[in-house]
Amino acid sequence: MDKLKMHSVNKVDENIKKIGALFPNALTEVIRGYKKDGTAIVESAIDFDVLRQELSNVVVEGPEERYQFTWPDKKKSILLANAPIAKTLRPCREESVDFDNTENLYIEGDNLDVLKLLQETYLGKVKMIYIDPPYNTGNDFVYEDDFAQDTNEYLANSGQYDEEGNRLVQNTESNGRFHTDWLNMIYPRIKLAKDLLTDDGVIFLSIDDNESENLIKVCNEIFGKSNYADCITWNKRVPKNDNKGIGNIHEYILVYVKNANNKRQFFMRKDGIEDIYELIDSFKRKRPSISDAEAELKHLYNKKGYDRGITLYNNLDEDYEPWGKINMSWPNADTFGPRYDVIHPKTGESTKVPDRGWRWNQATFAKQLDYDHVIERYDGSFICGQVWFAKDENTQPSSIKYLRDVSKMLLRSIISLKSDGGMEVEKIFDGKGYFPYPKPTSLLKTLIDSLDEKDGIFLDFFSGSATTAHAVMQLNAEDGGNRKFIMVQLPEETDEKSEAFKAGYKNICEIGKERIRRAGKKILEEHTEASGKLDIGFRVLKVDSTNMQDVYYTPTEYSQSKLFDLEDNIKPDRTPEDLLFQVMLDLGVLLSSKIEEIIIGGKKVFNVAEGYLMACFDNNVTSEVVTEIAKKQPYYAVFRDSGIASDSVATNFEQVFETYSPTTVRKVL
């Protein structure tokens, strides 16, 4: 049995292995320190002089001047991104919604820690990332990582701490490290986030003028300039007086893809689609006659002044879906199309043939007709398959095209959407504005919907009021999608003078979780057809110190007498479910996987992802329990090292699995 490492991936070790495989001569060893007994600690490393020469076609004698983007502590921020952490995610059932069935996650903690913890499990699995990080306006709080220049200075700036004593500091323009601190915060997070994206994944990053230039440089370096898709300007419509003589009404959204070779295209709904389908939804609830509904739809078109790309679709089918009549004549004025007879479904006579002939050849036209299922409309016209016919043969027939099939266009680099996120939050919280300047769901829906895929994982690691989660659920309800969200948020304390604090919301996470709960209920009330299908739940997980005692990681630091005092290498306050989630992280099992608790031989056994992982952390595990688990042939089987009942059980352990499930990977902690 192998022991689980129970800490996040060491990105440096992974990178050294990759480079060493390409350039073995650049692989070397260095002494990183000494143990208490004087033994040297030797680790693999890269000889950068050799590597530089391997990557140059001239003799390299020393460093050359070159274009580069740098700032104080940049190297430390790279080290910070790569360094492993001994932390875990602990489940919190009481704050979750539908814990056992949901595939959504809400994770509380420093997003840098979370991104590291997710590396093994979600590597290359996230379809889209959206972040709305601090804009560095001089009023924002920036999470201070562990290479601050002057601790006393930071302590004076803010009295806010997280549970582990880390500080959340206000980054004012008077700070001599104003841009440096922001870059040191954002760089390692984006660096880690890139690895989570699928090969065709995309990241959207909201920002304003304060750091847009630096953010572009950071992303160009991490993603590569060739993977820059565009910069969207979001017209918020409402000007902000910034005392510079110009009413600022815009922010930016940077768009980067993981791999531009995938040739991803982004789409958006045509202007007016939201209003039209809001009206259509009302038709489906009230069930007016088709003639009355069409009249009301045309009235909306006239009122809004939509262009022909919308107003052409002014007919409704029996489900109130808008469709339009498409001219069937040959489109080229200089040539002619085929001529043949098309029979009217009612009169049986040949319809009028267009002067330039038909757009389709006869075989294609025939496939669109269905004379066995003709529908007569209220106005006396007919629907025959995918072709519309007038009352008689004297009018040229038209093909039928639905608005839903042409409702999108390429995503525009300028998006005009009202910044009404604050009003949305107020409506959800009964008129109380508990969160300042949240993004509107309309913006997030536009970005999420710009991807063709209606499934996959959508991550927001600066989730704030959880607008992204709200948008994912709303969009799934509207288009039947199966998107899953992962929200990550630092439990930043609310101001004691704020309405949120007075209402009992002690930190931002409490606001975000409650918003998801309320938004989910409201969406189901508006989309009753989605009941039983729409996932409005979420598992709450919280960053915490590792479940393991320090001796698990550094046994050489403990004397033998101390070791005898430790009956177990697991902290006494940790539950079996705590251990399970750390194991899932370590083995790369999705944290949203279905978990079933079963009893085998009187012992609790976790069955994860329908037998993919089986874990038992009880004490006094007998050979009978081990045998029954082995017979179920899981991919992974995990036990507590101290939980094995006796030496004889431990001795027979491997033989049992070799007999019943030799391919099972066996692990202990």
What H or E segment, with its residue span, contains residue 478? helix 467-479
| Res 574: pLDDT | 93
Task: For residue 522, give both structure tokens.
Answer: 């409201």
Helix, strand or coil, per DSSP, at residue 86? coil
Range from 23-27, 499-503, 557-561 carrying the lowest mean pLDDT: 557-561
What H or E segment, with its residue span, contains residue 315? strand 315-316
In this structure, are residues 482 and 454 in contact, taking their beta carbons and an 8 Å threshold? yes
Angle, vertex CA 624, rays to CA 621 and CA 625, nearest 5: 50
- Residues 139-165 have a mean pLDDT of 44
| Residues 106-269+409-542, CATH architecture | 3-Layer(aba) Sandwich (3.40)
> Which amino acid, 258?
K
Query: In this model, does residue 564 exceed pLDDT 50?
Result: no
Buried/exposed code over 67-86 (b: 16+ C-beta within 10 A; e: otherwise): eeeebbbbeebeebbbeebb
Q: Quote the CA–CA distance of 141 and 138 in Å, as a whole number.
A: 8
Query: In this model, does residue 165 exceed pLDDT 70?
Result: no
Beta strands in 65-140 (DSSP E): 87-91, 105-108, 126-131
For the entire predicted model, the pTM comes to 0.81
Q: Quote the CA–CA distance of 388 and 391 in Å, as a whole number.
A: 10
DSSP for 607-666 reads EETTTTEEEE--SSB-HHHHHHHHHT--SEEEE-GGGB--HHHHHHHHHHHHHH-TTPEE
Instruction: Give the model's confidence band at 297: pLDDT under 50 very low, under 70 low, under 90 confident, else very high.
Output: very high
Instruction: Give the model's confidence band at 136: pLDDT under 50 very low, under 70 low, under 90 confident, else very high.
Output: confident
| Res 37: pLDDT | 64
Query: In this model, does residue 141 exceed pLDDT 70?
Result: no
| Res 306: pLDDT | 87
Q: Which of 119, 108, 110 is nearest to 84 (CA)?
A: 119
> What is the edge-to-edge ordering of all strands in the sheet holding 603-608?
2-3, 665-668, 636-639, 613-616, 603-608, 595-600
- Residues 260-280 have a mean pLDDT of 90
Q: Quote the CA–CA distance of 582 and 636 in Å, as a whole number.
A: 14
Query: In this model, does residue 52 exceed pLDDT 90?
Result: no
Task: For residue 516, give both structure tokens.
Answer: 């998801």
pLDDT tens digits, residue range 462-507?
999 999 999 999 999 999 999 999 999 999 999 899 999 999 999 9
pLDDT tens digits, residue range 618-635?
999 999 999 999 999 999
Q: Which residue has the tokens 């002619």?
A: 336
In this structure, are residues 193 and 141 in contact, taking their beta carbons and an 8 Å threshold? no
Number of alpha carbons in the 13 Å side-chain half-sphere of residue 386: 12
Q: Quote the CA–CA distance of 652 and 476 in Å, as a whole number.
A: 50
Q: Quote the CA–CA distance of 208 and 211 in Å, as a whole number.
A: 7
Buried/exposed code over 627-645 (b: 16+ C-beta within 10 A; e: otherwise): bbbbebebbbbbbbbebbb
Query: In this model, does residue 429 exceed pLDDT 90?
Result: yes
Report how many helices (DSSP H) and strands (DSSP E) the chain contains, helices first.
Answer: 22, 28
Query: In this model, does residue 339 exceed pLDDT 70?
Result: yes
Provide the residue ranges of all domains of the chain, joining segments of one domain with +. Answer: 2-66, 106-269+409-542, 271-317, 321-404, 560-668
DSSP for 32-82 reads EEE-TTS-EEEEEEE-HHHHHHHT-SS---S---------TTHHHHHHHHH
The more confident residue out of 556 and 9 is 9
Percent of the residues in the chain that have a pLDDT greater than 90, as a whole number: 65
Query: In this model, does residue 88 exceed pLDDT 90?
Result: yes
Mean pLDDT, all residues of the chain: 87
pLDDT tens digits, residue range 119-129?
999 999 999 99
| Res 26: pLDDT | 77
Query: In this model, does residue 267 exceed pLDDT 90?
Result: yes
Task: For residue 219, give both structure tokens.
Answer: 């992303």
Torsions phi, psi of 575, nearest 5? -90, 165
Query: In this model, does residue 59 exceed pLDDT 80?
Result: no
Task: For residue 406, give both structure tokens.
Answer: 């042409």
Torsions phi, psi of 82, nearest 5? -85, -25
Instruction: Give the model's confidence band at 311: pLDDT under 50 very low, under 70 low, under 90 confident, else very high.
Output: very high
Q: Quote the CA–CA distance of 68 and 299 in Å, as a whole number.
A: 58
Torsions phi, psi of 242, nearest 5? -100, 15
Sign of the Cα torsion 320, 468, 124, 533 reads: negative
Query: In this model, does residue 153 exceed pLDDT 80?
Result: no
Beta strands in 535-625 (DSSP E): 539-545, 595-600, 603-608, 613-616
Helix, strand or coil, per DSSP, at residue 308? helix
Q: Quote the CA–CA distance of 425 and 465 in Å, as a whole number.
A: 8
Number of alpha carbons in the 13 Å side-chain half-sphere of residue 161: 7
Q: Quote the CA–CA distance of 604 and 600 in Å, as a whole number.
A: 7
Instruction: Give the model's confidence band at 38: pLDDT under 50 very low, under 70 low, under 90 confident, else very high.
Output: low
| Res 161: pLDDT | 42
Angle, vertex CA 196, rays to CA 190 and CA 202, nearest 5: 75
- Residues 597-626 have a mean pLDDT of 95
Buried/exposed code over 14-25 (b: 16+ C-beta within 10 A; e: otherwise): eebeebbeebee
Query: In this model, does residue 589 exceed pLDDT 60?
Result: yes
> Which amino acid, 113?
D
pLDDT tens digits, residue range 386-400?
999 999 999 999 999
> Which residues are 668's β-sheet partners?
3, 639
Other Cβ atoms closer than 10 A to 305: 9
